[in-house]
Amino acid sequence: MTEQERILELRTMLHTHNHNYYVLNQPTISDQEFDMLMHELIDLEARHPEMADPNSPTQRVGSDLANEFETVRHSRPMLSLANTYNRQEVSEFYQRVLSGLHGEPFQICCELKFDGLSISLHYEQGRLVRALTRGDGVQGDDVTQNVRTIRSIPLQLPTGMDYPDEFEIRGEVLMPWTSFDRLNRQREEEGEQLFANPRNAASGTLKSKNSATVAQRGLDAYLYYLLGDNIPGDGHYENLQAARRWGFQVSRHMRLASTLDEVYEYIDYWDQHRSELPVATDGIVLKVNSLSQQRSLGMTAKSPRWAIAYKFQAEQAETILRQIVYQVGRTGAVTPVANMDPVQLAGTTVRRATLHNADFMQSLGLHVGDHVLVEKGGEIIPKIVGKKETSAPVGDAAEEGAFITRCPVCQTPLVRYEGEAAHYCPNENGCPPLILGRIEHFISRKAMNINSLGPETVDEYFRQGLIRDAADLYELTEAQLMKPTAGDQKGVRKILQSIEESKHVPFERVLFAIGIRFVGEIAAKTLARSYGSMDAVASASMDSLLQINGIGTVIAQSVISYFAEPRNQEFIERLRRHGLQMSLSEEQLSAQSDRLTGQAIVISGVFHHHSRDEYKTLIEQHGGRNVGSISQKTSFVLAGDNMGPAKLEKAGKLGVRIVTEEEFLAMIGD
């Protein structure tokens, strides 16, 4: 067997094992065996770049390059469903269907309504070619690159099955409770605002511009509607059973109902048992099962007449607000939290609820002593949704409902930045939560990647007075660290080695690591490539900064304010003395130009002189922007061998120029 044949064999094997593990929950090999196969495939693909395939199992990890989402028109509109909240409206829907079908017998397919983000997946010859969000129902965002990281979505269907050459399958991308809890614990440790519910978390994740982030957050997907010209049959339920055989994750809790009483039984059961599911649900979807009957019933302007969504009522409880406390996150955001009399809600005892921000508190007019209504947003995070008439005392106790004006930790006056809902403590160099937040940002993977240190260790070093800022890390000694770690010499040396290795981290990541407010990973890379050195960024004027594509007024002002602060200037100088990279390398500088400035470029095909990732880097080094999909805004397509036929056709329709590998290298002077 040749290495190329082994690549194809490994891909088939790993697709099957992914399906067994993530969809069927029936793994047939150990994690270690899976990892060995995956590493073998990674090594083989590295030796054979001509075999590059976006649907390879190795692409599940995503990319840390920024995505730009292209808006694409749906081949069939994605309409929303009419909502109902009581049995009477369900009965009225049932009678409308009966009347619309003139008494013809029909069945209702009862399905769980998953609380996530609607997605449309398009397959050709069994391969995933496009994934679109619902958008406005007429057009949605192309999120194919991010969707490829969701392991329960098949990238390549098994051969020999009866699926059509082309079809569309729709469903819901969601975040399981386990992934949601893990993500919020991580955000809490990092001082970031928590996601209110799994739906918000799933939506924010799927629209992330970094597909590596999507891959890490553990999204899932359930598919619930099959469309196409040659789908198996007339039954919606039966078609989804076929889709399950092809490899799609379809809920096993679907049921066919032949009477209204059977519909009610399904609703009543899941109203009681939905908390047992691994994902969030907010209701039931009822659909006429026959596709021909669906066509006969037709659509209104906004929704189909053959389907309706029954929404569960959120469980509420009444309690008394006893105290409002304020927490300072590690970004400086101040979050108000309500302490209440204990109350049972959705099977748990609730004592605390987030109050989000000052605007939220003001909208409710809360005072200590109020009788408040609490419900679990997204079934897990308690929130106050209203209050009842109360005999709350006036005077000092009543004033406790007003948002504080000073930081509860360091007493610095709070600030509220334009466009932000939260209040912040601006005392970055004196408020302990902010100091710790800046250090933890500095050591994070995408910044200095000091991977032997964690938040708990940083907290310990801070409490012992060993560090007050990130520059202190480079002054730590083995003798200092041996005392608090009870002689763990191996661990101490590993930490010190990781700190030393961080001195080789490239300049753009150092610029990101120092923690300029509003300067994220992409903005730091842009500034680094535009100015070349820390000194040049520090002395940049407002006009100069605003000339850079992607740098707006907020970021520009934040950069200027940061470098105007004497403490920050001293901090940078200390990092410089410790040997951190303060400018782009000679190699990076010599490779830069503005030849592609302002151009949006799509890469497609297999290349000979450089890998796809190397070409993406070259595009950025010469001022261009990598985009994933072809649109009217695309400047040209860098095309290698075996360019995708769909992209070639679209480029032709839109008149987008095709540039060969050799033409591109000549264009940038390589």
Tell me how far apart the alpha carbons of residues 563 and 540 are, in angstroms, rounded to a whole number: 10
pLDDT tens digits, one per residue of 386-400:
887 655 554 444 445
**Burial of 576 per CB tally in 10 Å (0-12, 13-18, 19+):** middle
Lowest pLDDT segment from 97-111, 439-453, 464-478, 632-646: 632-646
Q: What is the pLDDT of residue 60?
A: 66
Q: Where are the beta strands (DSSP E) in 264-332?
A: 281-288, 307-311, 316-328
Using only C-alpha atoms, the chain has a radius of gyration, in whole angstroms, of 28
CB atoms within 10 A of CB 557: 15
pLDDT band at 35 (very low <50, low <70, confident <90, very high): low
Question: What is the pLDDT averaged over residues 431-440?
Answer: 92
**Which residues are identified as catalytic?**
113
The fourth-level CATH superfamily of domain 73-311 is DNA ligase/mRNA capping enzyme (3.30.470.30)
Percent of the chain at pLDDT above 70?
91
CA distances from 235 to 82, 228, 239, 288 (A): 22, 13, 6, 9
Please tell me the class of the 3-61 domain.
mainly alpha
Tell me which long-range contacts 660-668 makes (C-beta under 8 A, separation of at least 24).
Answer: 661/607, 661/608, 661/609, 664/615, 664/638, 665/609, 667/595, 667/596, 668/593, 668/595, 668/596, 668/618, 668/622
CA distances from 382 to 83, 355, 379 (A): 24, 10, 8
Lowest pLDDT segment from 205-219, 336-350, 510-524: 336-350
Lowest pLDDT segment from 346-355, 404-413, 509-518, 655-664: 346-355
104: its two tokens: 């013809």
Instruction: Please calculate the CA angle 243-248-250 and round it to the nearest 5 degrees.
Output: 80
What backbone phi and psi angles, to 5 degrees, belong to 423?
-95, 150
Please tell me the class of the 316-399 domain.
mainly beta
Whether the predicted pLDDT of 171 surpasses 70: yes
pLDDT tens digits, one per residue of 464-508:
999 999 999 999 998 888 865 444 778 888 899 999 999 999 999
Q: What is the pLDDT of residue 31?
A: 60
Tell me how far apart the alpha carbons of residues 183 and 205 are, in angstroms, rounded to a whole number: 11
pLDDT tens digits, one per residue of 202-221:
888 888 877 888 888 999 99
The domain defined by 432-504 folds into DNA polymerase; domain 1 (1.10.150)
Domain ranges in the chain are 3-61, 73-311, 316-399, 432-504, 507-590, 600-667
pLDDT tens digits, one per residue of 266-313:
999 998 888 788 898 889 999 999 999 999 999 876 789 999 999 887
Tell me how far apart the alpha carbons of residues 410 and 391 are, in angstroms, rounded to a whole number: 34
- CATH for 600-667 (3.40.50.10190, 3.40.50.1000, 3.40.50.11540, 3.30.830.10): 3.40.50.10190
Say if 73-311 and 316-399 have the same CATH topology: no
600 three-state secondary structure: strand
pTM of the model: 0.53
Domain 507-590: give its CATH architecture: Orthogonal Bundle (1.10)
Cβ contacts of 560 within 8 Å, gap of 6 or more: 540, 542, 545
